Structure 1
Amino acid sequence: WVSWTLTCYSILLLYSRTRRTETFLLTMIAYILFTVLAVLPVLLFWKNPYIMSDLKFAMTVLHIGIKYSKITRKFYSILDCFMEKVSEHPQKTFLVFEGSSYTYSQADKESNKVARALLTHANLKEGDTVALFLGNEPYYVWTWLGLAKLGCVSSLLNYNIRSKSLIHCFSCCEAKVVITSAELCGAIEEVLPTLREQGIRVFVLSEKSDVEGIESLSDKIQQASDQPLSPQLRANVNLKSPMLYIYTSGTTGLPKAAVINHGKVWRASFLQYMIGVQSSDVIYLYLPLYHTAGFLMGFSGAIERGLTIVLRRKFSVSNFWADCRKDNVTVIQYIGEIMRYLCNTPKRDNDKDHKVRLAFGNGIRGDTWNDFLDRFGNIRICECYGATESNIGFVNYVGKVGAIGKEHFLHKRSYPYALIRYDTEKEEPVRDARGFCIEVPEGETGLLVSKIGEQTPFSGYAKNKQQTEKKKLKDVFVKGDLYFNSGDLLRINEGFVYFQDRIGDTFRWKGENVATTEVADHLLAVDFVEEANVYGVKVPGHEGRIGMAALKLKENMDFEAKSIYDHVKYFLPSYARPRFIRIQDSVAVTGTFKQLKVKLAEEGFNPNIIKDPLFFLDDSKGYIPMTKEIFDSILEGTLKL
């Protein structure tokens, strides 16, 4: 195109000299320039049909970069952002919950009361860690805001965990205080002796407590003043200070506490701005607040935007759209399973009667994506990718069905990453003769790694140096470089990023990460189990993988269905309980005694193929023999998992 333009210019210049007409020359030059400018966008669009979206995204990223640079120069926390919103619109509705609504001003005052009660009765100080063992409710929000005003770190516990896992979560973040609700108090009572030994004080959101060692908190909050607290209480907090501990499953078999500092909170909070959420939007938040998705992408992002939040305790497929209509919801979050649940409900005439314009989240399958749009109307779906502890994320800002993100030169410049060749049998990256990793060509699947640096830090896990180091890859492309190992296999094709699979000993089911080692440890505690190999298997029509265990029984002992069912029901949350159990004479291992999972996962739970004894977890009967009828019902979708 440039050569053609220069040729035309030369011809016209020669012609003008012969005619000696300066006016003619200027006119033709102007015409050529106008033609180039008119045709250039068409050519660019032909080469890249997403160019306008790319340019818009670039402007947004640059604006976020400017905002973040201001935060780094003069520290400004997400709490400061909340306080600014309180000042800007004190009477705007901040939270809607079960028929009650609270303004920004009311939320500020309620959190002041919580902060003062804890300051007086728990003797908290800046830097102390407090564990929140609560479900979604307004007091979760007030308590976190109150703790932030004291400069404390909040440890967000999964309210499904029990026993050993629960004690571990308190220990690894060194919590001095735990705050729970009356509904969850029973789980705390089970581990109370250990908590008292460790000097951890327990407060319950109740008017009174009859249990020795558990103190009431609601009465103390009601008696406290709602006046503002001095910023000096958090004077030493900065961008690198920890603000949260969010727990993620891993290969250790126990939850790992990812350290979330104030900088990472901001980076996650900017997601809503990045995808076009406006301050006038109303967001529907039903994902658990102990999750990164619920707390950072949803809740703190809503604070950054100054939104109204419609909070629900748990997801309800039957009430989802009714809630959206009742509260004029315009933005929803999702995980892949949620979208499938909504699509599987009986069709209604008013399916498209709502104000939802934007949905963002992760894990939606391509077929579900299309079904959702056909069923519920013109809703922009913005698929995202990231992990709690990760220093890299992607956003599918153009709405390409099936993609978890789109490459962008500004993004890659700010967050250097690569897909490298990975050996699934050896469970390690492939390295060349020089000892460096090999980047896969476009279109091939590779392990996502992201460079660790000043602007892309990896904070690791609290009190778990071994697992922190395990997530780091050294000497990846040059001697001395350092990369974060995402543990995810991705594929990039024509600029779009696609999720392929998850490596290691973790799989995802019902929106939760399940650590196979933790499940195996619980199974090994059953007296007749000698070895346990836990893995995830794919189920047609479902996102993620469902749990399955291959067991070797102790000599001269039989499989006792009721005993193992009672055990897993007590120790494991529902999503982590093995739905299928396979009894083997021996558990296959590699030469280095690593359990083989790939072949087992491929074989799945088909009784027509597997000759070993198979059992299925029926929610009402416990473990029962797996039959062809059960298998067919699962494939047909008539048996719900």
Structure 2
Amino acid sequence: MAVLPALLALLAVLLALVPLATAARLVPFLWQDLAFFGTMARSALRCRRRMATKPATTLLDVFRQHARLRPRHPLLLFQDQVLTFEDVERRSNRAAWTVAVFLPNEPAYLWTWLALAKLGCPMACLNCNVRGRALRAQVPRWAHPVSVCPAELREAVEEVLPELRRAGIAVFYLSEASPTAGVEALLPHIEASPEEPPPAGHRAGVTPETKAMYIYTSGTTGLPKAAVITEMKMMMVASLARICGLRPDDVVYTTLPLYHSAGLLVGLGGCLDVGATCVLRSKFSASQFWPDCRRYNVSVIQYVGELMRYLCNTPKRADDRDHGVRMALGNGMRAEVWKEFLRRFGPVAVWEFYGATEGNAGFINYTGKVGAVGRANRFIKLFAPFELIRYNVEQDEPVRDQRGLCIPAKPGETGLLVVKITKNTPFHGYAGDAQKTQKKILRDVLAKGDAFFNSGDLLMMDTERFVYFQDRVGDTFRWKGENVATTEVEATLGLVSFIQEVNVYGVAVPGCEGRCGMAAVRLKDGAAFDGDQLFAFTQDTLPAYAAPRFIRIQEALEVTGTFKQCKNRLVQEGFDPNLIRDQLFLRDAARRSYVPLSVWRTLGLVEIKP
């Protein structure tokens, strides 16, 4: 294509314009930046070239090409099942007529997705763990869907069934029989259907901007929102694994839920893109993780940060390094967990990345810098402009200058990540919710009239242009005139010997400005809470303003399907012993300990010095 020579010519001009002094400052990362820019350019061109054909070559078409060329190659391994590319092609042909999917991690998810794609129907990926109000909020009202779910989720379905029927939504069980009156079993119809693909005319109007699916945000800060995923975006996200080095002979192991973009598009989608094999597990199990990797000859694992921490917290074994895993692909791994993972499980190449389901750009850590989510590659930034801007945590808004424009953050300074909305980096928003879509667009950022996607994340770039995730907007709080990043405090408290998990958040205190720190803690099995030890530890490792004033002991911490911690309910309950039945402890500077906050110590008697 003519575009590639043009890009290379532009790059040559840019290099010629770079002063030698600037180039010297970039060394030793200049050539890595250039090499990765070339990788990204080739990937983007591959995706655009596919989409430029008439009709457009989508991820479905790429899968079908693999099915024709390597029909017997394993695509999906699940428990004792082996599904080849040919098997999935045939099953998806027979199932090609449904819309919304309410399924757990199982092979049916894949062939149902592909079946819908063959009809040109966008799939709504419903979280199979939500119930009641949250489930009702996820079922699309902006379409005329047919919802498909397994009979095992009968209780969840029947809870919302009357409302779904009033909305004209048909519900089917993906099973041999139906346990619910008025809900039909779909599997017998699928089994009786022909294996021939549906008519190509169903997809005749597919373009790069056609809506391919709707993926719901995790819902850590409210009800989930349906992010629009176009055919082009789906292709671009699926190519991430190839960019990181995924090969056709790789076996990828994922335990992440398929109703989120990481498991579905990066993991499974990456296998469809390159023709690799995916090992799917219904739920994550720390004890079975490495045995599964050995059983299936896994070479690539997919992770989120908490998953890796769970693995590092398992008892050490003599065979910890007895595996064939060469690469780990994921996001959210903290530096101390990263180091421990490599020390314990061997020299696995870690490809950490940053991105949001609805976002229009992201980062990839292609240098292996421990703790970083990526690099601010100068060359890539020309085509995907972004900025870290100063953010007022207390007022929950960007800091603006006298002109009303945002102020870029300096190296080493935490800032809000915003990505410019352009033709190369479009923002498609949320289905059926124009108001929430507009709330994610920040205007007049660097110039009057511009528009940027507001990531809602606080990041920091160091002097070498490495980028580090700091916290979510709303999670960071202000106390004693200082900003407290919950992720940093969580990482520190996670080093305490008796703490298994920790979730830090800010709570309002009567008569005080800002919010003070509180931590929900799950203790290690058999361990007891030691207030003296925790006080001494926080005194040595945290600034005074960052040390939690309250500790709440819980049997289990609430997390989403992708292990993101939920804070809303904890923040609302605060430290009120009338609402909380868990053990509560107060930081007592006089006693140099965390002491029990007994019921008789009412909120008015708790002294919190700002």
Calculate the TM-score normalised by the size of structure 1.
0.74
2-structure distance, mates of 1:150, 1:192: 26
1:285 matched to 2:201? The reply is no
Counterpart amino acid of 1:135?
Answer: P
Deviations 1:494-522 (A, max 9, x none): 12101111103799xxxxxxxxxxxxxxx
SS in 1 for 2:207: coil
SS in 1 for 2:287: coil
Distance 1:300 1:617, change over 3 A: same
1:624 matched to 2:582? The reply is yes
After TM superposition, the structure 1 = structure 2 runs for residues 199-598 of structure 1, keeping only pairs within 5 Å, are 199-249=168-218, 253-493=222-462, 494-504=464-474, 538-539=489-490, 540-541=493-494, 546=503
Preserved contact between residue 549 and residue 586 of structure 2 (Cα < 8 Å): no
2-structure distance, mates of 1:95, 1:251: 30
Structure with the bigger percentage of helix? 1
2-structure distance, mates of 1:175, 1:401: 47
Preserved contact between residue 489 and residue 500 of structure 1 (Cα < 8 Å): yes
Preserved contact between residue 536 and residue 548 of structure 1 (Cα < 8 Å): no
Deviates more, 1:413-422 or 1:166-175: 166-175
Equivalent residue, structure 2, for 1:79: 60
Counterpart amino acid of 1:360?
Answer: L
2-structure distance, mates of 1:417, 1:549: 29
Distance 1:47 1:410, change over 3 A: closer
Deviation at residue 210 of structure 1 after TM alignment: 3.7
Preserved contact between residue 520 and residue 552 of structure 2 (Cα < 8 Å): no
2-structure distance, mates of 1:506, 1:291: 25
1:109 matched to 2:90? The reply is yes
1-structure distance, mates of 2:138, 2:232: 23
Equivalent residue, structure 2, for 1:512: none
1:184 matched to 2:184? The reply is no
1:599 matched to 2:532? The reply is no
Preserved contact between residue 617 and residue 623 of structure 1 (Cα < 8 Å): no
In our comparison, the structure showing a higher alpha carbon Rg is 1
Distance 1:389 1:350, change over 3 A: same
Deviation at residue 320 of structure 1 after TM alignment: 0.5
Deviations 1:75-124 (A, max 9, x none): 11100010011111111011100011011001100111111xx3xxxxx6
Deviates more, 1:245-254 or 1:194-203: 245-254
Deviation at residue 58 of structure 1 after TM alignment: 2.4
Equivalent residue, structure 1, for 2:526: none
SS in 2 for 1:414: coil
Deviation at residue 326 of structure 1 after TM alignment: 0.9
Distance 1:612 1:317, change over 3 A: closer
1-structure distance, mates of 2:502, 2:359: 22
Distance 1:358 1:459, change over 3 A: same
Deviation at residue 286 of structure 1 after TM alignment: 0.9
Distance 1:616 1:46, change over 3 A: closer
Equivalent residue, structure 1, for 2:601: none
Taking only aligned residues, the RMSD between alpha carbons, in angstroms, comes to 3.2
Preserved contact between residue 155 and residue 173 of structure 1 (Cα < 8 Å): no
Equivalent residue, structure 1, for 2:35: 56
Distance 1:350 1:150, change over 3 A: same
2-structure distance, mates of 1:250, 1:284: 25
1-structure distance, mates of 2:353, 2:40: 15
Counterpart amino acid of 2:400?
Answer: R
Deviation at residue 428 of structure 1 after TM alignment: 0.6
1-structure distance, mates of 2:387, 2:582: 46
Preserved contact between residue 537 and residue 546 of structure 1 (Cα < 8 Å): no
Distance 1:628 1:618, change over 3 A: farther
Distance 1:45 1:439, change over 3 A: closer
Preserved contact between residue 172 and residue 462 of structure 1 (Cα < 8 Å): no
After TM superposition, the structure 1 = structure 2 runs for residues 32-181 of structure 1, keeping only pairs within 5 Å, are 48-74=27-53, 75-115=56-96, 118=97, 130-181=99-150
Deviations 1:142-194 (A, max 9, x none): 11111111111110011111111111111445351111112112101001110
Distance 1:175 1:614, change over 3 A: farther
Deviation at residue 545 of structure 1 after TM alignment: 6.6
- Say how many residue pairs are matched: 511
2-structure distance, mates of 1:504, 1:211: 42
Counterpart amino acid of 2:417?
Answer: L
Preserved contact between residue 517 and residue 548 of structure 2 (Cα < 8 Å): no
Preserved contact between residue 538 and residue 545 of structure 1 (Cα < 8 Å): no
SS in 2 for 1:272: helix
After TM superposition, the structure 1 = structure 2 runs for residues 8-19 of structure 1, keeping only pairs within 5 Å, are none
Counterpart amino acid of 1:618?
Answer: E
Distance 1:46 1:433, change over 3 A: closer
Deviation at residue 611 of structure 1 after TM alignment: 13
SS in 2 for 1:142: helix
Deviation at residue 303 of structure 1 after TM alignment: 0.7
1-structure distance, mates of 2:453, 2:141: 22
Preserved contact between residue 79 and residue 148 of structure 1 (Cα < 8 Å): yes
Deviation at residue 250 of structure 1 after TM alignment: 5.6
1-structure distance, mates of 2:487, 2:253: 31
Where do 5+ consecutive residues of structure 2 fail to align?
A: 1-19, 478-485, 522-528, 536-546, 558-579, 588-592, 596-610
1-structure distance, mates of 2:144, 2:218: 19
Deviates more, 1:344-353 or 1:605-614: 605-614
1-structure distance, mates of 2:204, 2:504: 47
1-structure distance, mates of 2:506, 2:412: 33
Deviation at residue 409 of structure 1 after TM alignment: 2.4
Percent sequence identity over aligned pairs: 44
2-structure distance, mates of 1:350, 1:105: 36
2-structure distance, mates of 1:156, 1:137: 14
1-structure distance, mates of 2:518, 2:403: 34
Deviations 1:305-328 (A, max 9, x none): 111011110111111111111111
Distance 1:159 1:600, change over 3 A: farther
SS in 1 for 2:206: coil
Counterpart amino acid of 1:359?
Answer: A
Where do 5+ consecutive residues of structure 1 fail to align?
A: 1-40, 119-123, 125-129, 508-534, 551-581, 590-595, 634-641
Distance 1:199 1:64, change over 3 A: same
Preserved contact between residue 538 and residue 544 of structure 1 (Cα < 8 Å): no
Deviation at residue 211 of structure 1 after TM alignment: 1.5
